[in-house]
Amino acid sequence: MRLTRTAAVAASSEVAGDDGVRQPGGEVHAWLPGQNQTLCGLPLSRTRLRRFPHVPFDYSATDQLTGADPVGRICPRCLAAAGGRGGRRRQSWDRHSPRP
């Protein structure tokens, strides 16, 4: 167990991964499980963001999104908020869904 809580993903849409596990799509935000709003302050209920407690918010500002990516936009405010926590920055992002 890590001492700091890991932010999960809340996204505006979802896609089914190869293994049937939901993956976030559309606009993604960081969300701490148990809270009812994103790190940037959007209320989940009013914005209809879907929660992905099984998907850690491991995005970084240097991630390159392609047309094949279901994720269209990463919230910059959530990136800043998540990156500021703990002061540790990930160097790479392990993709959970391999490309076909």
Q: By CB under 5 A, name the binding residues for Zn ion.
A: 29, 38, 40, 75, 77-78
Going by the DSSP 8-state scheme, the letter that residue 61 receives in this structure is T
Q: What residue type is 21 in one-letter code?
A: V
| Distance in angstroms (rounded) separating the CA atoms of residues 100 and 41 | 35
Listed residue (71, 42, 40, 1) closest to 93, CA to CA? 71
Minimum Å gap between C-beta 1 and Zn ion is 26
Nearer Cβ to Zn ion, position 29 or 51?
Answer: 29
Nearer Cβ to Zn ion, position 23 or 38?
Answer: 38
Three-class secondary structure of residue 52 per DSSP: strand
Query: What sign results for the dihedral spanned by CA atoms 77, 60, 43, 14?
Result: positive
Nearer Cβ to Zn ion, position 50 or 77?
Answer: 77
Minimum Å gap between C-beta 20 and Zn ion is 27
Minimal CB distance residue for Zn ion: 75
Minimum Å gap between C-beta 62 and Zn ion is 18
Nearer Cβ to Zn ion, position 16 or 41?
Answer: 41
